[in-house]
Amino acid sequence: MSIAVIKYNAGNIRSVQIALDRLGVSSVVTDDPDIIRSAEKVIFPGVGEASSAMKYLKERKLDELILSLKQPVLGICLGLQLMCSYTEEGNTSCLGIFDNRVIRFPEKDKVPHMGWNSISDLKGPLFESIADDSHVYFVHSYAAEPGVDQIAGTEYIIPFASALQKDNFYATQFHPEKSGDIGQQILKNFMEL
């Protein structure tokens, strides 16, 4: 199976590769359009800042490439946020795959949201064999508002969409690669789509 992990100016790509290695799946980190286009599955991970990440994607026309993909695509953390329509981080227009807006957590509690939290109201094949209220690992200061494409929800200060899906595009706000056995099962489910 050919897995392309999109390379752009965002961190956390190595831990995704290590998680895929644990599943016995090899992957290539690349920004080469031909390799990404021909991969069986594409992962769009990232930790970083939205406006600079979108600028990088646009400069290399990776924004257009991502929108054109027909195979299963999984956005992780910043990847989910960039797949939404807009983020308050840097007042940035994003890819618009999902209509959700991404907002900053109110400052009344500890931000960033860092650590283990539950996901509920799970829908679709990404969560096959995953129990409702399973715990996964989050690190983020911005979150997607709930919406029609939500396939999992979480509450931290406010309710937010912790996973989204539309057509061949899937995304998680949490880090499956850092979420133990639950995260490994979610990645395995994605590989089997």
**Among the options 94, 113, 140, 177, which is catalytic?**
177
- Select which of 64, 77, 107, 155 is catalytic: 77
Let me know if 177 is a catalytic residue.
yes
pLDDT mean over 71-98: 98
Percent over 90 (pLDDT), the chain: 92
Angle CA(168)–CA(18)–CA(15) in degrees, nearest 5? Answer: 80
- Position 109 scores a pLDDT of 72
| CATH code of 112's domain | 3.40.50.880
175 in catalytic set? yes
Q: Among all chains, which residue has been given the structure tokens 């599943």?
A: 23
| 40 given a catalytic annotation | no
Summarize pLDDT for 16-40 with one digit per residue, the tens: 999 999 999 999 999 999 999 999 9
Buried-state track 132-153, b at ≥16 Cβ within 10 A, e below 16: eebebbbebebbbebeebbbbb
Q: How far apart are CA 60 and CA 102, in angstroms?
A: 24
Identity of the residue numbered 161: A
φ/ψ of residue 12, rounded to 5: 80, 10
pLDDT tens digits along 94-133: 999 999 999 999 987 789 999 999 999 999 999 999 999 9
Considering its fold, how many domains does the chain have in total?
Answer: 1
* Residue 129 exposed, middle or buried by CB count within 10 Å (0-12, 13-18, 19+): exposed
Its pTM stands at 0.97
Query: Catalytic one among 89, 107, 175, 192?
Result: 175
Domain containing residue 175: 3-191
pLDDT at residue 10 in the model? 81
